[in-house]
Structure 1
Amino acid sequence: MYLFSGTSATYSCPLAMTDAATRVLLDLAPGGLRDRLVAGLTSRDPDQFITSGQWMTERTGGSDVGNSETIARPSRVVGDERRYTLHGVKWFTSATTSEMALTLARIDDGGTTPGSRGLSLFCVEIGREPGRGWTGIQVNRLKDKLGTKALPTAELTLDGVEATLIGEPGRGVANISGMLNVTRLYNAIASASRIRRACALARDYATRRSAFGARLIDLPLHQATLDDMDAEAAAVLALVLEGAALLGRSEAGTATEAERRRLRALIPIAKLTTAKQAVSIASEALECFGGAGYVEDTGVPRLLRDAQVLTIWEGTTNVLSLDVLRAEAREGAFTALVQDLAARAERSYANVAAGDLATLRAGVRSLIGQVKTNMSRGEAAMQAGARKIALTTGYLTEALLLAEAADAEPVAGEHLARFIAHRLRGPFEG
């Protein structure tokens, strides 16, 4: 996915939701539904492969799915499947051309529970009638978006479309939690891939474009800019691979309790941090092309437009920062992550300069101190400071993973030095 995503027409989006839907179906779906769909979702045969959409967002809610208004009315029972008809409007549905979708709705049982506790998870198998379009679904319009224009995103009215209940009624939000680790990791992978592509394009252009009597690549300031971008790309990739390794161990059942807790905090932090970096690097790459980067027919502006969705899809920076607070309150997830950072910071690294290591150790101590200060000031201070804490944690994690990589790859030590100077020190320190 890292090699593919950056050059695809945002196809990693339906793949992310397909992977995540498979996880949910394997874990929670009734046997008939699981047997009917999983084979297609996991097939490598183009004639058999299907993708899944994700229809969660409504006009009343956005990230706050607890305000969802779609109603599910009991329809029939087929084997082990409880079927319902869905009625409501989904304002933003990704990968609308997929053969199935997961969505949330409130079961109309005469005593509908408000908020997220009243939501249940459903699977819609999209039926098509020749000459009439989708069964029980009306496409109101395709969204005119800032970017990701190659990916169809629609506003849908669900008018009696049949869907199968997944999991227990009223447990919809809890039941989609397994999806979020997968889709948020995909988002981080997409960030890493787009950053690498932006860096590659900017560096290649620098070997071809001349200004002020020399190629851009031979101008010290421009070379330093490109090197800083490459360091950021290396840091992002290190964080993404750590998230993938932890998720892999979790799914394989080999993760320790501390690793499972750390994963719960690491995934949202990785997603929000790498997404911010993707937008920053896309902007820097566009600037590296000068006027050509601002002209649509070069294709470069698309890098910036498409990167912006990464900060929004599957949770904005603020939403994910607050999610980390919830994960800490429920299972000590952030504590597990910080404990791991503190242990990494105290190790010795053969190819890391003493000054850089001192900066990392001071950064971890400062992070812990700031968290304690925020906690002492109460819940409002914790929430107000959550964004800065999350981003700082993301940058420190990236840096410490680069330090670890430097033992095997000296170039990682060079990337680390630049990354620390750019993200973790003042403008003229070091």
Structure 2
Amino acid sequence: MAATTHTVSNQVPPLTGYDVFAADRALTEAVRRHTSPGLLAEVRGELGELGRSAGSAQAQEWGAQANANPPVLRTHDRYGHRIDEVEFHPAWHRLLGHAVGAGLTDAWGRPGGHVRRAAGFLVWTQVEAGHGCPLSMTHAAVPALRTDPALAAEWEPLLTSTVHERGLRPAARKAGVLLGMGMTEKQGGTDVRSNTTRAEPLAAEGEYLLTGHKWFCSAPMSDGFLVLAQAPGGLTCFLLPRVLPDGTRNTFAIQRLKDKLGNRSNASAEVEFDGTWARRVGEEGRGVRTIIGMVAATRLDCLVGSAALMRQAVAQAIHHCTYRSVSGGVLVEKPLMRNVLADLALESEAATVLAMRLAAAYDDGSASELAFLRIAVPAAKYWVTKQCTPLVAEALECLGGNGYVEESGMPRLLREAPLNSIWEGSGNVQALDVLRALQREPMALNAFLQEVGRARGADHRLDGAIRDMLTELADLNGIEARARRLAERMALVLQGSLLVRWAPPEVADAFCASRLGGDRGAVFGTLPHSLDLASVVERARPVAD
């Protein structure tokens, strides 16, 4: 081929060699807002280090390698012994080890722990989301284990360790461990009360043998799992170690790994228990109440994970349009493309601000903040995770045909995007949980209304949306069929309230006009042309100050 026919021009340089944290203004401002002044320098320092690693070519290569080389199940060794081990590509372990070392499994015992962890999780999972599952579950297991002080004393220091130690050994012989979760079964799905796995008590207090199955067991290479099973006193939570204290393998038969749409670098498995030893967590018959703290924390991580995917998609789209020229100018300066990018940026910032506000509520820990979380987490998880997929698809389109090519990384983001709306309860589960909180926990609604009310009078469109939401809440006719509509309204009103209080005027104005004032079409890129869209796009551009 003649070299003269292969001149490469008007191609976009890779988005690499930058600080993912510092380049995200919405996130850096949220960290500053929700972190005490005496702690801010330390937190910004650790997040800056993580952000620079996330933006490096090396980390991005690890993400691509981990995605291209999915885990492999080894049921037997060469001699025919059952081993049930899952092998991961070294790049996946490098990503996971870096995350553990950065404290992304430790939020409960550090000052400002939830804000700094959520920010770190949002930054680092932009590299590759597939290793986020074990990070999330290991972190979220802590509140469940704390219902049993003896178990917590034994396991919590290992769960919050900054050491990722590979290999199956007794937990007591490791410097750090990972914890997974197994709740759903074939016949029940989200209806965990229909679980059939049996738990037979042994003579020793708190010890049981489990027999049954789990249809989805996340991160099956973990050192232990929180599972639900039917004990004599009803559905109960158990801690099931992969390796017993004496060094022998617990009975944990991995039947197969799921072949998933996305999240390819992470393993999800079907497992069988047959006389599998486990320890009770909490009281018999109170399994759901025991494990609900873990579920709430992982739901927040679904929200943070979606915010991370949104941010990376928007960063890639704006970066591409900043360098790509068409019809005599760069794309980012074309009015219609600017409208699309600004609309995407609004959605991304609203997700980030909301996620960090909820993380700050965990750090506060007061009764009013916990009540607020009870209703805000399912509403926010419902809405933000739903918005993730159309946003990523639109961002991919901004790259044109280049975005449809695997090398761009955008197809991987798109395959990942639907996941968080399904994990830890799909859309209907979240919407119905909002109704459950409204009906059973009046303090939750009061706390929510107090939060959104802090911005009353600042924007007439927000005030109108709050009035419409209150009208919806006052009408109980057909409330279950309207649960999604109500959850959406609550999430949008909450996002609007936060942006009016904390975002720059051009961001808050555009959000309220389009999301609350109704001046927007059905797809991205239909914002009112009179808004300051150039400032919205510039704010979201992935260039550190």
- The aligned residue for residue 422 of structure 1 is 514
Question: Does 1:29 pair with 2:148?
Answer: yes
- The aligned residue for residue 236 of structure 1 is 351
- The aligned residue for residue 253 of structure 2 is 138
> How far apart, CA to CA, are the structure 2 residues paired with 1:426 and 1:105?
50
Q: CA deviation at 1:280?
A: 2.2
The Cα offsets for residues 255-308 of structure 1, whole Å up to 9 and x where unpaired, read as 1x4333221101111211111122221111111111222223432111111111
The Cα offsets for residues 346-389 of structure 1, whole Å up to 9 and x where unpaired, read as 244xxxxxxxx11110000011112212x1x2xxx110111111
Match of 1:290 among 385, 400, 411: 400
Q: Percent identity?
A: 36
- The aligned residue for residue 160 of structure 2 is 42
Q: CA deviation at 1:34?
A: 2.6
TM-score calculated relative to the size of structure 2: 0.69
Q: Which amino acid aligns with 2:131?
A: Y
Alignment check: 8 A CA contact 1:137 1:160 kept? no
Show structure 2 runs of 5+ residues with no match.
Answer: 1-120, 166-174, 522-526, 529-545
Q: CA deviation at 1:56?
A: 0.5
> How far apart, CA to CA, are the structure 2 residues paired with 1:35 and 1:345?
43
Alignment check: 8 A CA contact 1:184 1:314 kept? yes
- Give matches, 1:52-63, under 5 Å: 52-63=179-190
The Cα offsets for residues 370-412 of structure 1, whole Å up to 9 and x where unpaired, read as 2212x1x2xxx11011111101110111111011104xxxxx2
> How far apart, CA to CA, are the structure 1 residues paired with 2:417 and 2:253?
30
- Give matches, 1:203-352, under 5 Å: 203-250=318-365, 255=366, 257-341=367-451, 343-348=453-458
Alignment check: 8 A CA contact 2:457 2:463 kept? no
Alignment check: 8 A CA contact 2:129 2:305 kept? no
CA gap of 1:400–1:158, structure 2 versus 1, over 3 A, is same
Give 3-state SS (helix, strand or coil) of 2:306's partner: helix
> How far apart, CA to CA, are the structure 1 residues paired with 2:389 and 2:244?
38
CA gap of 1:213–1:76, structure 2 versus 1, over 3 A, is farther
> How far apart, CA to CA, are the structure 2 residues paired with 1:330 and 1:182?
20
Q: CA deviation at 1:124?
A: 0.4
CA gap of 1:128–1:146, structure 2 versus 1, over 3 A, is farther
Question: Does 1:362 pair with 2:464?
Answer: yes
> How far apart, CA to CA, are the structure 1 residues paired with 2:443 and 2:261?
35
Q: CA deviation at 1:135?
A: 2.7
- Give matches, 1:144-155, under 5 Å: 144-155=259-270
Q: CA deviation at 1:134?
A: 4.8
> How far apart, CA to CA, are the structure 2 residues paired with 1:225 and 1:242?
26
Give 3-state SS (helix, strand or coil) of 1:383's partner: coil
Alignment check: 8 A CA contact 2:456 2:462 kept? no
The Cα offsets for residues 195-244 of structure 1, whole Å up to 9 and x where unpaired, read as 11111111111123233333211211111211111111111111111111
Structural RMSD (CA): 2.1
- The aligned residue for residue 194 of structure 2 is 67
> How far apart, CA to CA, are the structure 1 residues paired with 2:387 and 2:520?
18
Give 3-state SS (helix, strand or coil) of 2:209's partner: strand
Alignment check: 8 A CA contact 2:461 2:513 kept? no
Alignment check: 8 A CA contact 1:324 1:334 kept? no
Match of 1:90 among 214, 218, 231: 214
Paired residues in the alignment total: 392
Match of 1:20 among 140, 157, 178: 140
Give 3-state SS (helix, strand or coil) of 1:141's partner: strand
Which deviates more, 335-344 or 62-71? Answer: 335-344
Q: Which amino acid aligns with 1:359?
A: R
CA gap of 1:76–1:287, structure 2 versus 1, over 3 A, is farther
> How far apart, CA to CA, are the structure 2 residues paired with 1:300 and 1:339?
38
> How far apart, CA to CA, are the structure 1 residues paired with 2:281 and 2:451?
38
Give 3-state SS (helix, strand or coil) of 2:454's partner: helix
- The aligned residue for residue 352 of structure 1 is none
- The aligned residue for residue 171 of structure 2 is none
CA gap of 1:86–1:74, structure 2 versus 1, over 3 A, is same
> How far apart, CA to CA, are the structure 1 residues paired with 2:225 and 2:141?
8
Alignment check: 8 A CA contact 1:30 1:166 kept? no
> How far apart, CA to CA, are the structure 1 residues paired with 2:469 and 2:152?
44
- Give matches, 1:180-195, under 5 Å: 180-195=295-310
> How far apart, CA to CA, are the structure 2 residues paired with 1:346 and 1:423?
16
Alignment check: 8 A CA contact 1:262 1:337 kept? yes
> How far apart, CA to CA, are the structure 2 residues paired with 1:334 and 1:322?
15
- Give matches, 1:399-418, under 5 Å: 399-406=496-503, 412-418=504-510
Give 3-state SS (helix, strand or coil) of 2:124's partner: helix
> How far apart, CA to CA, are the structure 2 residues paired with 1:370 and 1:324?
13
> How far apart, CA to CA, are the structure 2 residues paired with 1:21 and 1:160?
24
> How far apart, CA to CA, are the structure 2 residues paired with 1:140 and 1:154?
7
The Cα offsets for residues 34-72 of structure 1, whole Å up to 9 and x where unpaired, read as 333212101113341211101001111111111111111
Question: Does 1:4 pair with 2:124?
Answer: yes
> How far apart, CA to CA, are the structure 1 residues paired with 2:457 and 2:239?
48
